[in-house]
C-alpha cells in the first residue's frame, strides 16, 4: 500500500515540478523584458515612498525624515484641513469639476476620434489632429495670459467687443459664476486633443475586417459605430476611467495648476475655483510646512486608492481582462 | 442614388466645417501669443492685446536671446535628453506593458498592482531629492534629466491596454515559426503597435521637452541647462522681481526697463516652436497598424 | 537566435544600470560634475583653522566654496569669475563658485537642499518670499556666527548700524550677515504725487507731511476728484490683489508687525507691549470705508481686487498718487532722484513729489531683508566668513562681481552717466544679495560721475546719518515661533488672502463684509494666534 502511495506521489511531484520548471522557463523572457521597468519603478517610486511618513511627523531638517519626532497627537498635521471651514467647499468643487471633466472629455474625445476617422483625406485629418493637439503643448501660465488677454477688464478683447456694441464691460475676475463654466471648458480645450489621439490609436487598432463585414451586411455608419467601434474601445475607456477614479480627490485629476493660475489668484473667485490642492498650497505657502501638505496628499491618495479598489473589483466581475489588476 | 450621394456630400461638408471651427479655436489663441511677442511694448501697455499687432517690434526676441546666454547649448541639451529619454521610455514601458498581457506570466495581476500603486502614492519632493543627489549622485549630470521621467505607471497601463488588441493568432504563428518571445515582441508586436507607440511617444517627448523643473532642482551648471529652464528662469526673474520689488530699490529701478509682456510670449513661442515642427514628422506612424489580410481567421 | 536576443537585452539592461550609477561620477557631459567631487574631497582634506593669518597656509589646497543666490542668466560669467577668483585665491586660497538659481525656484530649492542635507556653503537668505530665514535659523540649518564674527568679519560688523544685527538674531545668536544696502535701512514711508497735476489743481502737497494716513487720505480726496475730472484716463491710487496699503504697510499706520507682516498680530509703536488684531482696529475700518468711497467715485480700478500685475499701469504713467518709500522727501531734499518721478517712469513723462508721513524707524525686519547665511554643516565655516569679509571690504572685487569691468561691461558716457553695456556681463541688479552695497565713500555702486551722481550721494548720506541715530523697532530681535498655532495660521491665511484684497480695493461694501471677515477670522482661530504672539512676546521681553 505504502509503496503504491509514494510512487503515485512521486509521479505527481515529478509532473508538478516538471510543469513548474517549464512554466518558469516560459516566463524568463518576459521577466527579462519587465526587468528594466520594474527596476526603475522600484527605484524611482518605491524607494522615496517612505517619505509619506512625513505626514505623521514633526519634521525638521537636522533630524531628517526618519529621525524627526512623531507628531503629537499623531494626526495633528491633518487637523488644519479638516477643521477649516472651506474643507467642504473645496472638496465639493474638486469632485464636481472632476466628474464633469471625466464625462465631458471622454465623450468629446471619443466623438472627435470617430469623426477624425471619417475624414478620408489623410493629410487633412493630420492637420486637424495637429490643431486640436496644440493646446496640450501650452502650459497653464501661457493659457492664463491668453485668457487674460481675452478677459482683462480694460484691455481684454471680449470687453473691447462689448464696448464696441455699446454694452457694459463684465468684471470677469470678480464673478465666481462665470468660472464654473470657464474652468471646465479650459480643461476640456487643453486635454481633449491628448485623449482623442489616444482614442484614435485605439480605433486604429480595430481590425478593419469587422467594418468591411458590417458594410457588406448593409449596416449604416451609425450602426457600425454603435456596434463595433464603441464596444471595441470600451477597454480603453475603462482603463482611463479607472486611472481617473484613483485621482478623484485630486484637483484636476492631479493637474491642479489650471485652477490656481487661470483665475489669476483672485480671492473673489475662490468659492468657485478653489479645489483641495489650491487651498492647501495657498494656506501653506507662508509656513512651508512639509508635514501638513504631505498629510493632505496622503488623505487624497488613500481615498483614491480605496475608490480604485472598489471600482476594480466591480470591473473584474463584468470584464475581467479590463481590470487594472 | 442621387439623394444618398447628396446626403454624403452634406455630411462631408458639415464634418469639415466642424473641424475647421475646432481648429480655429485652438490656433487663434496661439496666434495671439505670437502677435504679442512681436508687438512693441509701449503699444501693449497703452492699447492692450490685439490679434494683429499694432506696432511690430522684435525687441522681445532680442531681449530673450541676449539675456539667455547660450541658447544654442540649451537646445542641444534638450534635444539629446528628449530623444534619448523618449526612446528609452518607450522601450522600457512597452516591454513591461506587453509582458503584463501574456498569460504565461503567472503573477501579472500582482505586478500590475505593484505598477499601479505609485500612481497614487508619492513620497514627495524631499525624499526624491535626497535619492537623486545623495544616494545616486546624479546632481548636475545629464542623466538626471533623462531618469526622472523614464518610467510612467500610467503609460504602462495604457500601453498594456493597446497590446491586448493584438490578435493572439499572430503571435501564435510567430511562435510556431520558431521565434522566441523577445524576438516576437520586437519583430511582430512592436511594428503593429505603431499608432499607440507614436501617440505615447509624442506625449513623452513633449513632457521631456517642456520639463524645466528637473533642471531647476538638480542642475546648477549653465552648460547642462535645458531650453525650457533657460526661458523659464528669464521669465521667473521678471515675475519674481515684479512681486518683490520692495526688496531692494535697485530692482524697482530696473523694472522700468524690462519688456515683460512681449518677452513672456516670445519665450512661449520659442518653447513651443520645435514641438510643432516635430509633429508632422511623426505623422506617418499614426496610421493604422493592422492591415487587411494580416489575419486570416 | 534566442540566446542572441537574450544577450542583447541583458546588455541593454547592464548598460542601463551602469549608466545610472557610473555616470554619476564620470563620462560624457559630466565634466562639470567635478564640482561635486571637490566638495567631498575638501571635507577630508581641510582641517578647521582658527588662525586668521592665511598667508602661512601654503600647504593647504584651494578650498572651493559655493554661494547660492537668486539670479537670472548672466552673460560672460566665466570671464568675470576667473578674474574674481584670481583676487580671492590670492588673498584667501579660496575659489568662489556662484550658483545662480532663478528667482521663483530659489526659495523652494534652498529649502529642499536644507531639508535633505545637501551640500552648500553660503547662500543668500531673507525673511520674505518663502526663503524662511528665521525658520531655518531656528532649525539649526544655518551656522551660529556670533562668536566667529569678531574674529573673521569684524569690518562687516562694524560698518553698519548695530541695531540691524538684532534683526538677524534668534535667541540672541546671529545666523546671518546683514547686507546693508546703499539705500540705507531706516524707513520713512509716505505718499507720492504727480507734481504737474498737483500744480494744475492747486493742491498743497506739503500740507500732508506728518499727517496720519487716514487724515492724509481724506485730504487728497478732493485733489483726486479734481485731477480725474481733468484727466479721466488716469487712476487715482494703486490697488491690486497682492498689495494692500493697510495689510502690507504697517508703518503707514504707526504699527509694527510681530513676525511676518501678513500673519495677524501687530503692535502699535505707542504701545509695543500689546499685540492686537490689526483688522479689528478703527484705522482698518476707516481705511476700508475710504477705499470704498474712492471705488464708487471711480478713483481706483474697478478690478483692483483681482488684478495682479500693475506694471502696465505704472509704465503708462497712469497713477496720480501712490505709496512712496523714498526719503528724504521733496520737502527736505527736493533733488532726491528717488522722488522726482513716479514709479517706473521718468521725470519727463511723470514728474513727481513725495511727502514723508511716518516716523523714521529701522524696522525689525530690516536686518533680515537681505543677508548671507553659512551652512551649519559646511566644513569651511571660517573660510566662508572670511570670504564674506573680503567681499564687503574689497571694493574692487565687489564692483567686479556686481558690475563687471570698467570700459568693457559698463562705461561712463560723455555726461558721466553710468551705463551698462548691452550684451556684456550683467548681474541683473542683484548686488544686494552678495554683500553690502553700502560704502562710506560711495565706491561700491554705479554712481554717475556728474551732478546727479553727487546729489544721489548726498541723499544717501542723509539716510546713512539717520540710520545711525534712528529708532530701532521695538520688535528687533524677536522671532515668532509659529509651530504652536500653525493650523490657525494656515486657516487664517486662507481667509485673509481671500478677503483682504476685496476690502482694500473698495470693491465690496465694508458695512456688510468687514464684520463677516472678522467673524471668519474668529472661526479660523485668530484669537489663538494673538494670544500666542502675546505670550511669546511677553516671555521675550522679560528675558531681555
DSSP C409: T
C350, β-bridge pairs? none
pLDDT value at position C52? 36
Q: Show the cell assigned to A220.
A: 449604416
The mean per-residue pLDDT over the stretch C29-52 comes to 33
Residue B53 lies in a domain: no
Domains with residue ranges and CATH for chain A: 2-47 (no CATH), 84-285 (1.10.3720.10)
Task: Tell whether the model's pLDDT for residue C285 goes beyond 90.
Answer: yes
Q: Does C375 touch chain A (CB under 8 A)?
A: no
The mean per-residue pLDDT over the stretch C88-117 comes to 87
The pTM assigned to this predicted structure is 0.79
C493 versus A63: which is more confidently predicted?
A: C493
Residue B292 lies in a domain: no
C191 burial type by CB count under 10 A (0-12 exposed, 13-18 middle, 19+ buried): buried
Q: Does C32 touch chain A (CB under 8 A)?
A: no
Other Cβ atoms less than 10 A from the Cβ of C458: the count is 13
How many domains is chain B built from? 2
Task: Tell whether the model's pLDDT for residue B204 goes beyond 80.
Answer: yes
Q: Does C248 touch chain A (CB under 8 A)?
A: no
The maximal CA–CA distance of chain B, rounded, in angstroms, is 80
Domains with residue ranges and CATH for chain C: 53-184+364-472 (3.40.190.10), 239-309+481-544 (no CATH)
Cα–Cα dist A242/A315, whole Å = 9
The mean per-residue pLDDT over the stretch C151-157 comes to 90
pLDDT value at position C95? 92
The pairing of beta strand C418-420 with beta strand C410-412: antiparallel
Task: Tell whether the model's pLDDT for residue C341 goes beyond 70.
Answer: yes
Residue A131: its H or E element: helix A122-137
Query: Is B102 found in the same domain as B6?
Result: no
Residue B291 lies in a domain: no
Contact (Cβ atoms closer than 8 angstroms) between residue C309 and residue C176: no
pLDDT value at position A143? 85
Q: Show the cell assigned to B8.
A: 454624403
Task: Tell whether the model's pLDDT for residue B291 goes beyond 60.
Answer: no
Q: How confident is residue C9, by pLDDT bands cut at 50, 70 and 90?
A: very low
Residue B203 lies in a domain: yes
Query: Is B139 found in the same domain as B32?
Result: no
Task: Tell whether the model's pLDDT for residue A165 goes beyond 70.
Answer: yes
Other Cβ atoms less than 10 A from the Cβ of B271: the count is 22
pLDDT value at position C476? 82
Residue carrying C-alpha cell 566668513: C385
Cα–Cα dist B204/B149, whole Å = 8
Residue B277 CA: distances (Å) to CA of A247, B280, B282: 33, 6, 10
Q: Which CATH number covers residue B118?
A: 1.10.3720.10
**Ordered DSSP codes for B68-104:** TS-HHHHHHHHHHHHHHHHHHHHHHHHHHHHHTT-TT
Residues 6+ apart with CB under 8 A from C45: C60, C61
SS3 of residue A226 by DSSP = helix
pLDDT tens by residue, C363-400: 887 888 889 999 998 999 999 999 999 999 988 899 88
Query: Is B82 found in the same domain as B31?
Result: no
pLDDT tens by residue, C104-150: 788 888 888 888 888 899 999 988 777 888 888 888 889 999 999 99
pLDDT tens by residue, C405-447: 888 888 888 887 888 777 778 787 788 888 888 887 888 887 8
Query: Is B227 found in the same domain as B89?
Result: yes
Query: Is B78 found in the same domain as B40?
Result: no
Residues 83-112 of C with CB under 8 A from B: 99, 101-105, 109, 112
pLDDT tens by residue, C472-526: 888 887 888 888 888 888 888 888 988 999 999 998 999 999 999 999 999 999 9
Highest mean pLDDT among A3-12, A20-29, B196-205: B196-205
Minimal C-alpha gap between A242 and chain B (Å): 10
pLDDT value at position B46? 67
Torsion of CA C9, C12, C18, C20, to 10 degrees: -110
The mean per-residue pLDDT over the stretch A61-89 comes to 83
Measuring CA to CA, which residue among C91, C66, C52, C126 is closest to residue C377?
C66
DSSP B294: S
| Domain ranges, residue B275 | 71-286
Among candidates C33, C73, C118 on the partner chain, residue whose Cβ is nearest the Cβ of B233 = C73
Quote the crossing angle between the two packed helices B153-163 and B71-99, to the nearest 10°. 50
Cα–Cα dist C99/A52, whole Å = 31
Percent of chain A topping pLDDT 90? 22
Query: Is B80 found in the same domain as B41?
Result: no
SS3 of residue C334 by DSSP = coil
Cβ–Cβ gap B129/C116 under 8 Å: yes
Q: How confident is residue C29, by pLDDT bands cut at 50, 70 and 90?
A: very low
The mean per-residue pLDDT over the stretch C42-54 comes to 34
Residue C95: its H or E element: strand C94-101
Cα–Cα dist C474/C370, whole Å = 20
Query: Is B25 found in the same domain as B160?
Result: no
Residue B258 lies in a domain: yes
Residue C527: its H or E element: helix C526-543
Residue B58 lies in a domain: no
Residue B55 lies in a domain: no
Torsional sign, CA B27, B29, B32, B34: negative
Question: Which of C1, C15, C24 is the best residue to mutate to test the B interface, defined by the most B CB atoms within 10 Å of its own CB?
Answer: C24
Q: Show the cell assigned to B248.
A: 531692494
Among A246-250, C75-79, C351-355, the range scoring the smallest mean pLDDT is C75-79
Highest mean pLDDT among B81-95, B274-288, C253-267, C461-475: B81-95
Q: What is the ipTM of this complex?
A: 0.81
Residue carrying C-alpha cell 461638408: B13
| Residue numbers in A near C139 (CB within 8 A) | 60-62
The mean per-residue pLDDT over the stretch C69-87 comes to 86
| Residue numbers in B near C422 (CB within 8 A) | 66
For chain C, the average pLDDT equals 81
Q: Is the peptide bond before B6 cis (omega within 30 degrees of 0)?
A: no
C79 burial type by CB count under 10 A (0-12 exposed, 13-18 middle, 19+ buried): middle
Amino acid at each position: 500500500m505504502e509503496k503504491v502511495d509514494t510512487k503515485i506521489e512521486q509521479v505527481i511531484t515529478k509532473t508538478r515540478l516538471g510543469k513548474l520548471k517549464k512554466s518558469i522557463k516560459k516566463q524568463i523572457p518576459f521577466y527579462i523584458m519587465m526587468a528594466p521597468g520594474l527596476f526603475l519603478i522600484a527605484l524611482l517610486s518605491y524607494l522615496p515612498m517612505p517619505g509619506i511618513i512625513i505626514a505623521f511627523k514633526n519634521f525638521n531638517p537636522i533630524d531628517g525624515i526618519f529621525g524627526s519626532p512623531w507628531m503629537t497627537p499623531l494626526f495633528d498635521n491633518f487637523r488644519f484641513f479638516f477643521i477649516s471651514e472651506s474643507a467642504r467647499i473645496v472638496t465639493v468643487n474638486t469632485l464636481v469639476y472632476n466628474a464633469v471633466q471625466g464625462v465631458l472629455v471622454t465623450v468629446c474625445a471619443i466623438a472627435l476620434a470617430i469623426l477624425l476617422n471619417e475624414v478620408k483625406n489623410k493629410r487633412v485629418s493630420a492637420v486637424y489632429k495637429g490643431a486640436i493637439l496644440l493646446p496640450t503643448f501650452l502650459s497653464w501660465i501661457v493659457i492664463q495670459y491668453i485668457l487674460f488677454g481675452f478677459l482683462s477688464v480694460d484691455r481684454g478683447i471680449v470687453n473691447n467687443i462689448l464696448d464696441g456694441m455699446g454694452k457694459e464691460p463684465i468684471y470677469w475676475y470678480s464673478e465666481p459664476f462665470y468660472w464654473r463654466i470657464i474652468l471646465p471648458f479650459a480643461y476640456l480645450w487643453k486635454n481633449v486633443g491628448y485623449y482623442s489621439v489616444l482614442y484614435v490609436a485605439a480605433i486604429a487598432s480595430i481590425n478593419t475586417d469587422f467594418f468591411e463585414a458590417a458594410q457588406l451586411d448593409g449596416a449604416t455608419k451609425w450602426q457600425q459605430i454603435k456596434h463595433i467601434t464603441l464596444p471595441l474601445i470600451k477597454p480603453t475607456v475603462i482603463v482611463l476611467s479607472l486611472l481617473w477614479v484613483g485621482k478623484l480627490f485630486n484637483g484636476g485629476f492631479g493637474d491642479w495648476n489650471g485652477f490656481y493660475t487661470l483665475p489669476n489668484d483672485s480671492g473673489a473667485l475662490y468659492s468657485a475655483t478653489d479645489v483641495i490642492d489650491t487651498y492647501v498650497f495657498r494656506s501653506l505657502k507662508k509656513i512651508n510646512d512639509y508635514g501638513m501638505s504631505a498629510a493632505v496628499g496622503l488623505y487624497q491618495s488613500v481615498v483614491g486608492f480605496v475608490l480604485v479598489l472598489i471600482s476594480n473589483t466591480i470591473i473584474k466581475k463584468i470584464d475581467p481582462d479590463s481590470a487594472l489588476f | 442614388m442621387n439623394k444618398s450621394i447628396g446626403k454624403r456630400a452634406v455630411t462631408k461638408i458639415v464634418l469639415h466645417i466642424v473641424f475647421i471651427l475646432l481648429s480655429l479655436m485652438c490656433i487663434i489663441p496661439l496666434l495671439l501669443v505670437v502677435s504679442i511677442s512681436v508687438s512693441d511694448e509701449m503699444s501693449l501697455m497703452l492699447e492692450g492685446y490685439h490679434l494683429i499687432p499694432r506696432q511690430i517690434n522684435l525687441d522681445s526676441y532680442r531681449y530673450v536671446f541676449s539675456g539667455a546666454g547660450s541658447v544654442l547649448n540649451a537646445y542641444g541639451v534638450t534635444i539629446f535628453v528628449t530623444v534619448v529619454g523618449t526612446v528609452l521610455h518607450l522601450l522600457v514601458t512597452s516591454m513591461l506593458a506587453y509582458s503584463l498581457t501574456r498569460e504565461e506570466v503567472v503573477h501579472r495581476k500582482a505586478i500590475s498592482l505593484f505598477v499601479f500603486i505609485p500612481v497614487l502614492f508619492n513620497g514627495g519632493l524631499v525624499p526624491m531629492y535626497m535619492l537623486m543627489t545623495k544616494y545616486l549622485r546624479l546632481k548636475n549630470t545629464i542623466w538626471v534629466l533623462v531618469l526622472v521621467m523614464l518610467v510612467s505607471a500610467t503609460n504602462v497601463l495604457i500601453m498594456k491596454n493597446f497590446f491586448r488588441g493584438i490578435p493572439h493568432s499572430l503571435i501564435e504563428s510567430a511562435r510556431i515559426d520558431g521565434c522566441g518571445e523577445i524576438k516576437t515582441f520586437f519583430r511582430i508586436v512592436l511594428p503593429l503597435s505603431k499608432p499607440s507607440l507614436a501617440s505615447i511617444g509624442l506625449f513623452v517627448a513633449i513632457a521631456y521637452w517642456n520639463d524645466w523643473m528637473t533642471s531647476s532642482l538638480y542642475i546648477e551648471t549653465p552648460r547642462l541647462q535645458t531650453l525650457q529652464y533657460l526661458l523659464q528662469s528669464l521669465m521667473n526673474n521678471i515675475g519674481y522681481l515684479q512681486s518683490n520689488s520692495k526688496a531692494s530699490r535697485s530692482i524697482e529701478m530696473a523694472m522700468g526697463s524690462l519688456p515683460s509682456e512681449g518677452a513672456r510670449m516670445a519665450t512661449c513661442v520659442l518653447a513651443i516652436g520645435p514641438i510643432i515642427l516635430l509633429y508632422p514628422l511623426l505623422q506617418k506612424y499614426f496610421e493604422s497598424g493592422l492591415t487587411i489580410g494580416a489575419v486570416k481567421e | 537566435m534566442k540566446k542572441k536576443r537574450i544577450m542583447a537585452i541583458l546588455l541593454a539592461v547592464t548598460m542601463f544600470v551602469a549608466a545610472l550609477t557610473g555616470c554619476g561620477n564620470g563620462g560624457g557631459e559630466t565634466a562639470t560634475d567635478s564640482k561635486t567631487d571637490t566638495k567631498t574631497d575638501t571635507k577630508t582634506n581641510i582641517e578647521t583653522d582658527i588662525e586668521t593669518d592665511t598667508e602661512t597656509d601654503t600647504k593647504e589646497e584651494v578650498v572651493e566654496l559655493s554661494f547660492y543666490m537668486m539670479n537670472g542668466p548672466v552673460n560672460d560669467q566665466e570671464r568675470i569669475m576667473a578674474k574674481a577668483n584670481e583676487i580671492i585665491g590670492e588673498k584667501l586660497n579660496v575659489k568662489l563658485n556662484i550658483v545662480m538659481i532663478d528667482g521663483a525656484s530659489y526659495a523652494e530649492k534652498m529649502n529642499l537642499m536644507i531639508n535633505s542635507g545637501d551640500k552648500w556653503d553660503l547662500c543668500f537668505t531673507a525673511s520674505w518670499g518663502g526663503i524662511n530665514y528665521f525658520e531655518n535659523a531656528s532649525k539649526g540649518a544655518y551656522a551660529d556666527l556670533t562668536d566667529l564674527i569678531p574674529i573673521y568679519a569684524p569690518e562687516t560688523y562694524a560698518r553698519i548700524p548695530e541695531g540691524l544685527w538684532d534683526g538677524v538674531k534668534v535667541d540672541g545668536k546671529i545666523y546671518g550677515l546683514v547686507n546693508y544696502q546703499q539705500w540705507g535701512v531706516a524707513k520713512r514711508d509716505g505718499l507720492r504725487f504727480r507734481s504737474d497735476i498737483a500744480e494744475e489743481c492747486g493742491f498743497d502737497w506739503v500740507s500732508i507731511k506728518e499727517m496720519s494716513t487716514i487724515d492724509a487720505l481724506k485730504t487728497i480726496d478732493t485733489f483726486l476728484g479734481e485731477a480725474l475730472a481733468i484727466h479721466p484716463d488716469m487712476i487715482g491710487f494703486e490697488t491690486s490683489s497682492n498689495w494692500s496699503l493697510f495689510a502690507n504697510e504697517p508703518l503707514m499706520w504707526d504699527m509694527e508687525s510681530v513676525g511676518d507682516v501678513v500673519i495677524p498680530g501687530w503692535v502699535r509703536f505707542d504701545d509695543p507691549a500689546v499685540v492686537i488684531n490689526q483688522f479689528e482696529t478703527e484705522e482698518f475700518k476707516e481705511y476700508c470705508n475710504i477705499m470704498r468711497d474712492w471705488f464708487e467715485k471711480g478713483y481706483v480700478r474697478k478690478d483692483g481686487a483681482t488684478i495682479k500685475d500693475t506694471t502696465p499701469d505704472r509704465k503708462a504713467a497712469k497713477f496720480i498718487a501712490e505709496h512712496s518709500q523714498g526719503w528724504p522727501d521733496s520737502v527736505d531734499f527736493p533733488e532726491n532722484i528717488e522722488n522726482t518721478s513716479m514709479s517706473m517712469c521718468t521725470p519727463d513723462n511723470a514728474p513727481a513729489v513725495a511727502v514723508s508721513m511716518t516716523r523714521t524707524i529701522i524696522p525689525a525686519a530690516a536686518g533680515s531683508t537681505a543677508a548671507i547665511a553659512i551652512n551649519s554643516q559646511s566644513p569651511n565655516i571660517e573660510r566662508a566668513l572670511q570670504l564674506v569679509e573680503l567681499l564687503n571690504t574689497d571694493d574692487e572685487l565687489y564692483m567686479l562681481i556686481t558690475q563687471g569691468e570698467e570700459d568693457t561691461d559698463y562705461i561712463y558716457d560723455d555726461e558721466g552717466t553710468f551705463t551698462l553695456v548691452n550684451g556684456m556681463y550683467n548681474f541683473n541688479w542683484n548686488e544686494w544679495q552678495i554683500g553690502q552695497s553700502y560704502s562710506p565713500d560711495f565706491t561700491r555702486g554705479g554712481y554717475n560721475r556728474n551732478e546727479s551722481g553727487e546729489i544721489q550721494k548726498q541723499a544717501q548720506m542723509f539716510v546713512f546719518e539717520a540710520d545711525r541715530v534712528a529708532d530701532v523697532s521695538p520688535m528687533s530681535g524677536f522671532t515668532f515661533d509659529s509651530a504652536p498655532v500653525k493650523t490657525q495660521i494656515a486657516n487664517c491665511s486662507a481667509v485673509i488672502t481671500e478677503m483682504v484684497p476685496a476690502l482694500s480695493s473698495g470693491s465690496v461694501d465694508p458695512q456688510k463684509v468687514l464684520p463677516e471677515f472678522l467673524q471668519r477670522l474668529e472661526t479660523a482661530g485668530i484669537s489663538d494666534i494673538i494670544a500666542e504672539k502675546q505670550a511669546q512676546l511677553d516671555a521675550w521681553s522679560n528675558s531681555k
